[in-house]
Amino acid sequence: MASFLHSIFFLIIFLHLALLTSAQSPYKNITLGSSLSNLDDNPHWTSQSGEFAFGFHPQQGQFLLAIWYAKIPVPVKTIVWTANEGKPVERGAKIQLTSNGVLFLSTQNGTEIWKPQLTDNSQVASAAILNTGNLVLTTTDSTVVWASFDNPTDTLLPFYPNTRAWL
């Protein structure tokens, strides 16, 4: 009987820790050293809910580095944000979050095409596509140092903050 109670106690502790850990992580991190190429089978990262995707969206033989609604079951996905001023890239392009915290888009031969301008010189520790559709770069203490919502293109999402960027 004591062994059974002991097992139940450890199960409760384990479940509590698992729930606590998931509650502290509101999004899936894109870790340092991660990369995507538009030659990959699934060239995108998704939000935890799966509602949004960030990556390479095919467009007329080229690719846009973009955020789009991932769950809408239509052939043409609704793009809500684009990097690189909406300019498409050729096959073989790559987006990477380097081991020293730099997110950048490059051509197949490694020439840098685009990278976000950070608000300060903070060290980026991870990136994430949030359930709101916002792509963020964060420090080790989860401070956001760059966000796609702060650099809007031509689409407003329900969770866009009321910023001066649109004025």
Domain map (residue ranges) of the chain:
27-166
Residues 54-91 pLDDT 10s: 999 998 899 999 999 999 877 778 899 999 999 999 99
CATH of 27-166, one of 3.40.50.300, 2.90.10.10, 1.10.10.10, 1.10.287.70: 2.90.10.10
Confidence (pLDDT) at 120: 82
How far is it, in rounded angstroms, from Cα 148 to Cα 17? 32
- With CA atoms as reference, report the closest residue to 34 among 8, 55, 16: 55
Question: pTM for the complete prediction?
Answer: 0.76
DSSP structural state of residue 105 = E
User: Quick check: 156 pLDDT over 50?
Assistant: yes
pLDDT at residue 29, rounded to an integer:
84
How buried is residue 34: exposed, middle or buried, by Cβ count under 10 Å (0-12/13-18/19+)? middle
Span 6-29, average pLDDT = 46
The residue to which tokens 């944000």 are assigned: 81
In which band, very low, low, confident or very high, does the pLDDT at 155 lie, cut at 50, 70 and 90? low
For CA atoms 49, 51, 55, 58, give the dihedral sign: positive
